[in-house]
């Protein structure tokens, strides 16, 4: 009994002891056995497992096809049996068969000689070769939703701008990735690495993700409030302001005019001011719409969406106020801002979207409303406090770093609450994954939500920071979250909503191509940067010359560029799918001659 | 009381005030307090030229790849003599102008080396100019972008007296009758880089590096085998290879080769050690070499010299720490 107690006590103390030991002397002898690194490896394994599950669904379909072949073999065996029969036996069977063949239907056995007509529009597709489809047929979208034309136009324009910025922003990203492999690609000042890097990040942040989120937000806000949007005019004003600020900001960045190099606040204040006004207008518009709602409850999605707009406005103000930005004050604000930009704006808003779109696409309610509320308040509490974990071991005050690390661990609460909620909502509907082209995007997004966020928490530990900070591992983390979580979830929402608005579905094979290229590309990107980043960190710890870490990264940078190319390719396909969905319906005239041949 | 589910005003107000409250505690107040620092006693102010260079540094986005913070962990020891402290940034992290705020110099990514001490590590103007014109002309495996727009091509005849010519090697620039001349921006940027020297602190250093456990043990072993010198190849790679190159071939027109050099292979190592300690500027066809007496210990100099004397086909007898010590004593006496 007492042994047990001692054992438990040691068990409880050990992780603590490990943590305390780290602050004194850091040993890299057993770096593979470090909790932060083990945790990260497990998280990567989770993603691999999920992709294997999706793949196994596909394989299953393929095996079913093989089984059919088996049955045809059995038929062959049967005919061989026939050959072995006696002549008299065969005669008897044939006579019987002849009689059967001579039998003719009068044409009126079922009591009707009417033509077969599909009066209720139940048949959507006629296939000539149902036995051998190249891809599994996905379920078609259910009835389209009645949406006012004005709102439809607003949403499509927001999403259209987002798609443009996605393609543009990732083209830049791809170009930057190639510069790591071929630094001499160009020597034009406007295209040099230092100036173009913020163009990539700011475009995908404020252009792609922000525009897509707000566009989808207009749909969610109106539907869950059961009312029309407060003002269409304001929606257009915000559209112009945000797009203009991204375009102007990018041109200035390329011209060498930036705010001071702090990540994600490279736009100078007049440019960001335009963006902030766009946010204020959007917030007012959303808030008024919720205030006029026709149902008494405020749906949880609207909590997240309204709060994220509000928080981001505060965030931008704090980030640009000059009163506390000299010396290391700027560094504190930088850590706070770059983390909250992701956490309070992209994460919070996108979660709000998922709380609506995920249950809607499964056609059932969210698993737990209260869990959503818990996730909301803990998101605010924990996320706000952790910015300084970008500056562990820096000259910033030790207490600030410790607060950031402790609250980073606290992030497990909102993340676990959210993930559980989403997965439990999906539970019982797993078989729909292979039948839907929307759900795989949701599943990957939700899994990355858990993996990416938890990995971020683990990376805040002092040991993992020791190995990974300043290396390419950070780049892997930011793509895991902004791409794996935000972008995949936004795609899921768009593929679910847009066909219902326009009544046009994208070609399924192309949605599949989009999904797999993006997923495999991201995986190659992530793994190469993680592996390379770890080796780089270990090389620094060994005290090797800095140049050696540049040389050792070369193969990983090549793999990153390959992964990036796949991702970019998938965006081109996505852009095509998007235009396919919003293309105006064309009346197809079938020539009379063709019609006749169909009748025959 | 708080009926968040039905009262949108309440919900929005609570979310707003909660966030503002937390933000003030964790960001605004600490930031405000951290502005209140003073410069170190011996810390020089940025010259006007260097300040202009800082503007070029920011506008080209150098902070995307170069940090300027020595963390308090042992692996960062190669970037500075002590961990960075808030005072270090007193002059450099001020608001730039109406449009632009205090620059984010600490950085978050070390794709290139940390620059806290670059002015000490690479003091020569010529090296910096060559490196900016095309980094691969001095560091063959570098992936840093080239900055040719900070330079201009000039006809040899129209070059003025005060123009600074950059001795770019023929592999990187080869046009008859023309030379590469540094523009004002390049000179300002180099002035800024040269000004980056970690200020010294008198007396006790307020914070020390957190040691790596493994290194500690190795030190113990090293003390047992007392005579062994540090790793000369590693030191050479860190200190010398930026100019003399990894293969000891140097660069034509900028840095002399060490492979096959008579000075390096001389039986008597006196001149070699003197050059390392005091620097060298005797040959007009090459750039000036900075002195390393303050940066390298006797043992380190001996290790580097031995590496140079035994690599790339060089074959000269090794030298000991004692010899270096003697020559250092002699040189200091002269001064």
B65 with B162, same domain? yes
Determine phi and psi for A255, rounding to 5 degrees. -80, -5
Q: So what's the pLDDT on residue A111? A: 66
The band of B222, judged by pLDDT with boundaries at 50, 70 and 90, is very low
Predicted pLDDT of residue B223 = 47
Domain-embedded: residue B200: no
B64 and B138 housed in the same domain = yes
Q: How far apart are CA A331 and CA B106, in angstroms?
A: 7
The answer to whether A585 and A504 are in contact (CB under 8 A) is: yes
Which of B26, B135, B140 would best serve as a mutation to test chain A binding (most A beta carbons within 10 A)? B26
B58: chain A residues, CB-CB within 8 Å? 258, 260-261
Q: Does A314 sit within 8 Å of B16, measured CB to CB?
A: yes
φ/ψ of A569, rounded to 5, equals: -60, -40
> A46-55+140-175+184-502: what CATH class?
mainly alpha
Tokens of A452: 């990416």
**Are B64 and A261 a contacting pair, CB within 8 Å?**
yes
Cβ atoms of residues A290 and B10 within 8 Å? no
B190 and B276 within one domain: no
pLDDT of residue A587: 53
Average confidence (pLDDT) over B23-28:
94
Residues A487-545 have pLDDT tens digits of: 999 999 999 999 999 888 899 899 999 999 999 999 999 999 999 999 999 999 988 88
B312 backbone φψ class: left, alpha, beta (φ>0; ψ -120 to 50): left
User: Does the structure show a pLDDT above 50 at B137?
Assistant: yes
| Distance of residue A299 Cα from the nearest chain B Cα, in angstroms | 8
Number of other CB atoms surrounding residue A174 within 10 Å: 18
Q: Are the beta carbons of A369 and B62 closer than 8 angstroms?
A: no
**CB–CB contact A260 B108 (8 Å):** no
- Subunit contact B12:A306, Cβ cutoff 8 A: yes
CATH number, domain with residue B189: 1.10.760.10
Expressed as residue numbers, the domain containing B278 is 232-334
Q: How far is B113 from chain A (nearest CA, A)?
A: 7
Q: Name, of A85-89, B147-151, B201-205, B279-283, the range with top average pLDDT.
A: B147-151
Question: Residue A455: which residues within 8 A CB-CB, separation 6 or more?
Answer: A39, A40, A43, A477, A480
> To 5 degrees, how large is the angle CA A359–CA A362–CA A367?
45
**Torsions phi, psi for B49 (to 5 deg):** -60, -45
Beta bridge mates, B251: B255
Q: Which chain A residue shows the shortest CA-CA distance from B148?
A: A187
pLDDT for the residue numbered A144: 66
The total number of structural domains in chain B stands at 2
Chain A: closest CA distance from residue B329 (Å): 30
Q: How far is B152 from chain A (nearest CA, A)?
A: 13
**Per-residue pLDDT in tens (0 to 9) along chain A, 600 residues:** 444 444 444 344 334 333 333 445 666 667 777 777 888 888 888 888 888 888 888 888 888 888 888 888 888 888 888 788 888 888 888 899 999 998 888 767 776 667 777 888 777 777 776 666 666 667 776 666 778 899 999 999 999 999 999 999 999 999 999 999 999 999 899 999 999 999 999 999 999 999 999 999 999 999 999 999 999 999 999 999 999 999 999 999 999 999 999 999 999 999 999 999 999 999 999 999 999 999 999 999 999 999 999 999 999 999 999 999 999 999 999 999 999 999 999 999 999 999 999 999 998 999 999 999 999 999 999 999 998 888 988 989 888 998 899 899 999 999 999 999 999 999 988 888 878 889 999 999 999 999 999 999 999 888 889 999 999 999 999 999 999 999 999 999 999 999 999 888 899 899 999 999 999 999 999 999 999 999 999 999 988 888 889 999 999 999 999 999 999 999 999 999 999 999 876 555 555 555 555 444
Task: Using CB atoms, pick whichever of B27, B103, B149 lies closest to residue A318.
Answer: B27
Domain boundaries of chain A, sorted by first residue = 46-55+140-175+184-502
- Are B245 and B190 members of one domain? no
**Among candidate residues B137, B169, B195, the one where a domain is terminated:** B195
Print the SS3 string covering A299-358: CHHHHHHHHHHHHHHHHHHHHHCHHHCCCCHHHHHHHHHHHHHHHHHHHHHHHHHHHHHH
Greatest alpha-carbon span in chain B:
91
Has residue B214 got a pLDDT over 90? no
| A253, A202 Cβ separation under 8 angstroms | yes
Last residue of a domain, one of B173, B195, B217: B195
Strand pairing partners for B155?
B178
A26/B12 CB distance under 8 A: no
Closest residue of chain B to A370, computed from CA coordinates: B5
Strands of the B151-155 sheet, one edge to the other: B151-155, B178-182, B165-166
Interface test with B, best of A265, A323, A395, A560 (most B CBs within 10 A): A395
What is residue B326's DSSP assignment? H
Contacts (Cβ under 8 Å, ≥6 apart) of A354 = A422, A442, A445, A446, A489, A493
| Residues from chain B contacting residue A189 (CB–CB below 8 Å) | 147, 149
Collect all residues of chain B within an 8 Å Cβ-Cβ radius of residue A310: 12, 15-16, 19
Can you give the pLDDT at residue A61? 81
Q: Do A291 and B6 touch (CB under 8 A)?
A: no
pLDDT at site B262: 82
Tokens describing residue A385: 């406090």
Q: Is residue B304 part of a domain?
A: yes
| Model pLDDT, residue B71 | 93
A492-528 burial, b at 16+ Cβ within 10 Å, e below that, comes to: bbbbbbbbbbbeebbebeebbbbbbbbbebbbbbbbb
Is the pLDDT assigned to residue B39 strictly greater than 60? yes
Report pLDDT for B216: 47
Q: Which two tokens stand for residue A111?
A: 């009591």
Both B237 and B189 in one domain: the answer is: no
- Alpha-carbon distance A347 to nearest alpha carbon in chain B (angstroms): 15
Say if the Cβ atoms of A194 and B84 lie within 8 Å: no
Contact B64, A197 (CB under 8 A): yes
For residues B19-39, give the mean pLDDT. 93
My answer on whether B129 and B265 are in the same domain is no
| 8 Å CB contact of B145 and A194 | yes
Is the pLDDT score of B206 beyond 70? no
The answer to whether residues B287 and B155 belong to one domain is: no
Task: Write the residue in A256, A385, A466 that is nearest to B60 by C-beta.
Answer: A256
CA dist., res. A441 & res. A483, Å (int): 12
Identify whether B36 is part of a domain.
Answer: no
Calculate how close chain A gets to B106, using CA atoms only, in Å. Answer: 7
Closest-CA residue of chain A to B20: A314
User: Mean pLDDT across the stretch B277-305?
Assistant: 82
What residues of chain A lie within 8 A of the CB of B80, using their CB? none
Residue B221 lies in a domain: no
Report the alpha-carbon distance of residue B172 to residue B170 in Å, rounded: 5
- Kindly list the residues from chain A whose CB atom is less than 8 angstroms away from the CB atom of residue B64: 193-194, 197-198, 261
CB atoms within 10 A of CB B99: 15
Q: How far apart are CA A254 and CA A245, in angstroms?
A: 14
User: Quick one: pLDDT at residue A9?
Assistant: 40
d(C-alpha B225, C-alpha B213), whole Å: 19
Domain membership of residue B13 (yes or no) is no
The DSSP annotation for B139-195 comes to STT--PPP-GGGEEEEEGGG--TT--EE---TTT---TTEEEEE-HHHHHHHHHHHH
- Given a cut of 60, is residue B188 above it in pLDDT? yes
Q: Which of B82, B322, B327, B310 is nearest to B200 (CA)?
A: B82
CA dist A43 → A449, A452, A457, A523 (Å): 11, 8, 12, 13
Is B268 inside any structural domain?
Answer: yes
Domain final position from B195, B218, B250: B195
Residue of chain B with shortest Cα separation from A23: B210
Q: Is 90 exceeded by the pLDDT of residue B200?
A: no
The DSSP 8-state label assigned to residue B201 in this structure reads -
């Amino acid at each position: 009994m007492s042994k047990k107690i001692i054992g438990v006590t040691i068990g409880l103390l050990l992780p603590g002891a490990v943590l305390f030991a780290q602050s004194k002397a850091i040993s890299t002898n057993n770096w593979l056995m470090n909790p932060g690194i083990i945790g990260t490896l497990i998280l990567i394994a989770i993603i691999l497992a999920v992709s294997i599950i999706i793949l196994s669904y596909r394989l299953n379909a393929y095996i079913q096809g093989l089984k059919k072949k088996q049955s045809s073999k059995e038929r062959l065996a049967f005919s061989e049996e026939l050959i072995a029969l006696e002549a008299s036996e065969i005669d008897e069977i044939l006579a019987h068969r002849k009689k059967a063949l001579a039998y003719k239907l009068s044409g009126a056995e079922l009591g009707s000689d009417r033509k077969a007509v599909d009066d209720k529009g139940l048949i959507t597709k006629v296939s000539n070769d149902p036995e051998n489809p190249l891809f599994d047929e996905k379920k078609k979208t259910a009835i389209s939703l009645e949406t006012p034309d004005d709102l439809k136009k607003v949403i499509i324009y927001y999403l259209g701008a987002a798609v443009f910025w996605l393609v543009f922003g990732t083209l830049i990203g791809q170009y930057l990735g190639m510069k790591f492999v071929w630094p001499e690609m160009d020597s034009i000042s406007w295209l040099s690495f230092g100036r173009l890097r913020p163009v990539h990040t700011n475009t995908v942040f404020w252009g792609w993700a922000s525009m897509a989120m707000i566009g989808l937000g207009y749909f969610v806000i109106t539907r869950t409030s059961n009312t029309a949007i407060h003002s269409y005019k304001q929606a257009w004003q915000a559209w112009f302001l945000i797009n203009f600020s991204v375009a102007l900001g990018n041109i200035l960045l390329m011209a060498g005019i930036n705010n001071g190099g702090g990540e994600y606040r490279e736009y100078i204040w007049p440019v960001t001011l335009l963006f902030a006004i766009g946010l204020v207008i959007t917030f007012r518009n959303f808030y008024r719409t919720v205030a006029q709602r026709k149902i008494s409850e405020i749906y949880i999605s609207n909590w997240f969406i309204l709060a994220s707009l509000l928080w981001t406005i505060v965030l931008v103000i704090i980030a640009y106020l000059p009163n506390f930005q000299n010396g290391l004050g700027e560094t504190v604000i930088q850590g706070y801002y770059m983390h909250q930009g992701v956490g309070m704006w992209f994460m919070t808003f996108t979660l709000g979207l998922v709380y609506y779109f995920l249950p809607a696409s499964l056609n059932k309610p969210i698993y737990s409303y209260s869990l959503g509320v818990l996730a909301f308040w803990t998101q605010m509490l924990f996320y706000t406090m952790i910015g300084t974990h970008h500056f562990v071991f820096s000259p910033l005050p030790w207490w600030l770093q410790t607060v950031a690390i402790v609250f980073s661990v606290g992030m497990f609460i909102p993340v676990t609450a959210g993930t559980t909620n989403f997965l439990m909502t999906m539970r019982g509907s797993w078989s729909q994954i292979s039948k839907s082209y929307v759900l795989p995007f949701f599943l990957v997004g939700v899994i990355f939500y858990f993996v990416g966020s938890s990995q971020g928490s683990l990376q805040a530990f002092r040991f993992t920071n020791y190995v990974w900070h300043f290396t390419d591992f950070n780049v892997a983390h930011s793509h895991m979250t902004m791409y794996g979580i935000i972008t995949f979830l936004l795609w899921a929402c768009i593929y679910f909503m847009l066909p219902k608005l326009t009544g046009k579905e994208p070609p399924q094979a192309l949605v599949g191509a989009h999904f797999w290229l993006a997923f495999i590309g991201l995986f190659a990107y992530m793994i190469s940067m993680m592996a390379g980043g770890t080796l780089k960190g270990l090389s620094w710890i060994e005290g090797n010359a800095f140049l050696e870490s540049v040389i050792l990264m070369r193969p990983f940078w090549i793999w990153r560029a390959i992964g990036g190319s796949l991702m970019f390719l998938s965006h081109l396909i996505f852009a095509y799918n998007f235009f396919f969905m919003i293309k105006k319906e064309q009346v197809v005239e079938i020539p009379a001659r063709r019609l006749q041949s169909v009748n025959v | 009381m708080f009926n968040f589910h039905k009262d949108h005003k309440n919900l929005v107000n609570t979310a707003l005030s909660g966030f503002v409250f937390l933000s003030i505690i964790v960001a605004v107040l600490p930031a405000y307090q951290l502005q209140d620092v003073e410069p170190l006693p011996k810390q020089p102010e940025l010259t006007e030229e260097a300040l202009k260079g800082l503007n070029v540094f920011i506008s080209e986005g150098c902070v995307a790849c170069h940090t300027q913070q020595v963390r308090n962990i042992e692996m960062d020891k190669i970037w500075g003599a002590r961990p960075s402290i808030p005072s270090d940034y007193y002059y450099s992290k001020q608001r730039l102008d109406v449009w632009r705020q205090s620059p984010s110099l600490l950085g978050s990514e070390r794709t290139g080396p940390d620059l806290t001490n670059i002015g000490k590590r690479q003091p020569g103007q010529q090296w910096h100019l060559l490196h900016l014109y095309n980094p691969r002309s001095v560091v063959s495996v570098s992936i840093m972008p080239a900055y040719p727009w900070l330079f201009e091509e000039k006809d040899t005849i129209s070059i003025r007296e005060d123009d600074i010519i950059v001795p770019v090697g023929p592999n990187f620039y080869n046009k008859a009758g023309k030379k590469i001349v540094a523009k004002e921006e390049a000179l300002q940027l180099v002035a800024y880089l040269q000004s980056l020297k970690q200020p010294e602190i008198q007396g006790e250093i307020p914070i020390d590096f957190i040691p790596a456990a493994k290194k500690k043990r190795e030190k113990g072993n090293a003390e047992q085998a007392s005579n062994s010198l540090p790793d000369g190849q590693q030191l050479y790679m860190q200190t010398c290879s930026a100019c003399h190159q990894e293969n000891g071939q140097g660069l034509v027109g900028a840095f002399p080769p060490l492979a096959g050099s008579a000075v390096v292979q001389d039986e008597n190592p006196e001149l070699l050690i003197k050059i390392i300690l005091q620097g060298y500027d005797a040959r007009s066809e090459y750039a000036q070499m900075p002195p390393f007496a303050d940066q390298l210990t006797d043992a380190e100099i001996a290790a580097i010299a031995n590496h140079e004397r035994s690599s790339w086909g060089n074959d000269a007898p090794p030298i000991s720490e004692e010899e270096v010590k003697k020559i250092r004593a002699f040189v200091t006496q002269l001064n």
